[in-house]
Amino acid sequence: MPRPRCCRYVERKPFITYFKPQGIPMTELTETGLTVEGLEAIRLADLEGLTSEAAARRMRVSRHTFGRILAEARRTVADALVNGLALRISGGTYEVLPKRCFTNQEVHMLIAVSSEGPSLDDMVDPRFGRAGGFVLVDPDTMTSTYLDNGASQTLAQGAGIETAERMAAAGVGVVLSGYVGPKAFEALRAAGIQICQDLDGMTVHEAVKRFINGDVAFAEAPNK
């Protein structure tokens, strides 16, 4: 049985998805396909000039996987250019990076970290649903605010879902925590919020830095 492909993350979907040689009717052209993650790999490596390691972190894949994606994408583009093929950009195994909120015409991602206290120096609370609160961090400026979650601690059940709803209402794009249960995980993903787990045992500041540096992968399923 083939190994399932891991998801690759791209910054945005392409605006232009088709290219063709000038002056040749579509009926006379052969078409080749470039995946969306292949385009992202070319953008990161050849347009932004990132190293393989840095680009792989941006796409949340291993350096080996990034190299394979990039090589395949370059072959596809070379084939289209050299042999005069039409190039369609579509498909692949990818997700767009977390939603971002717009402030003062600049793009910022709001990160919520389950915390045992209100500051960046407090420890990450290993519980998501029953965390006492969340430190909300703007990673561009490292400014933070505190969102109290005490009401969820008193619930007999449904704490994870209610906390997920609180994250969505606050405009959060990414949650960093220790343990996220199945129902909370599903609610977060339904709201378009990405999740990074197993970050207990460190401070809020350390968890955010690890995320910014690309050292933390987005979770594909709840903690076991």
- For 8-96, CATH number out of 1.10.287, 1.10.8, 1.10.10, 1.20.120 equals 1.10.10
pLDDT digits (tens, 9 = 90+) for 3-28: 445 678 888 888 899 999 998 888 89
In the chain, where the domains are located:
8-96, 101-212
Rounded alpha-carbon distances, angstroms, from residue 48 to 16, 104, 123: 18, 24, 35
| Whole-number pLDDT of residue 41 | 96
Closest-CA residue to 80 (of 28, 30, 45, 22): 30
Tell me yes or no: is domain 101-212 CATH 3.10.20.30: no
| Whole-number pLDDT of residue 198 | 93
pLDDT digits (tens, 9 = 90+) for 181-224: 999 999 898 888 889 999 999 999 999 999 888 788 888 888 86
| Whole-number pLDDT of residue 6 | 61
**What is the distance in angstroms between the CA of the first residue and the CA of the last residue of the chain?**
23
pLDDT digits (tens, 9 = 90+) for 54-111: 888 788 888 899 999 999 999 999 999 999 999 999 999 888 876 443 333 333 478 9
